[in-house]
Structure 1
């Protein structure tokens, strides 16, 4: 025999309120006394009540679903930052009664926009989270033209205004470059991304600022650009170390940890001691960073907090129809100093030295 479905009236009877009150609370159309709300939620939990999805969607004229698509990682590389971002969004969406709908990412602009249009026109989603945002991003322009809710993890053109949250990568590079200068380094190389990379350019601004403040001239031969992969970090470092002793860098700043790991391997193959003969830093602070030999200095992004916040912002826009201020929230990262730049730091994977607290404004 099938178990009878628990209804709103069953919950209302258990909680001692009307079923209309239960319905309005679940759909966030009413605020009640704290004790009453707790009693209703406890009744929901005790009875195992779950709202009927189709009926709920029809009443609210929403799908309670958020769309998200991202560029795929190479088959031979993991993406722990993406994993953490996804898990955080799943948790935040579920807490507000929403689900995430993943859909394929297309590099061709026409196919990319068609995917968004199909989901909007079919009423499958109530809004979108965007990431991997670049200059002149066509998704942003299209969603603005459709007046459809979205929040981006990342900025685009400086003059564009839209709801977004971004990590202040420039601040991160500024702090790590200052850190290296304070240790006595003047010839500091950068493993950067291609010139068209919006994120890469934002991060490089911090390097240029720190070098200018220290009155250290920029040597363009020490700025190498390529894809943010292990092999590029390895090959670029080999190129840097082939320079004469007066030209080669004493420190390398990489725009992500994978390039930094490749750089460490190239330097160690030449018998160099990382942190002593050559300082190397990364960006992202992936879990592997603290277990390297030596542990890698890196810049940590508060990814979990950002995942929570983009979902909260988007749902507020969907439900209230208003974009919160500031429209674009810039979040500071945290510099984690380890032995790859400062050998005096205790080389334990379970300890860390941070120059600042992780903060996200709410």
Structure 2
């Protein structure tokens, strides 16, 4: 196993791949990376699948067959995606079994068109969970205001959830509260308290958003400061009496996951976020290019302080510079949801175009 990535894993962090393509399944790349890089999970989103399906002909035969069988649009895509994710999930099954279900997960997104539809999100999460028939597959639900009650209900329903599109500590805590309420309701009704969940905090988009407006000395530091603050809230929640009661009843923590950890600024280190976000009991889902960079020359800066370290001092510097992080967090979440909608529509259009072309 790569020494640099092994040192990162030694901090108590799980490394997941932020990508999936049929090609890396077919040519054995994913299986090889699991061994070489110590990967124990994988995430996907509409943008990733849009690029994967549009890049080459790996999906053409499956698209043609499913279209001929009467499938189209979202239903066709979900079948394609679940075929890939089931294959990936089997590769991660050893990690899932070895950790008794804590690690070894893959993730599938509900339609981004449902980001403001609570009931629709709950129904879609249940459908994907039932259709997948895969014990180590998370259903991704955005942590939007309408998504939060859908997260609670889905957890209560026994659907493992990856909460996506979280940007601030406040948004993270809303997702964490939803998870706790779902588990508390299960316990009150005599149901199994073990329903897995992760909460995905997006990091690098903060710095991209302020790249042209922040003073030079404050660039490429806001995402890490937000991460430190959220990590403190995560550790405090795990020390709370409320959580200890649930843990005593058999529940397991919703783990904090770092998403969007590739460096967007070409002038900054390409392992910036991965190095800074090393923290016990967290997950970092990392694009292939960034994983390769860390494997080659990455170094762990040290383990993140459980009390957030200098997060508050750093965030005060951004506030003093006129950056309203709460307002920006809301905008980033809305922009992120809109970007996924755009990718989703483009993806479905691409599939239909391919299906039509393959008929001739």
TM-score, normalized by length of structure 1?
0.27
- Kindly name which structure, 1 or 2, has the bigger radius of gyration based on alpha carbons: 1
Higher helix share: 2
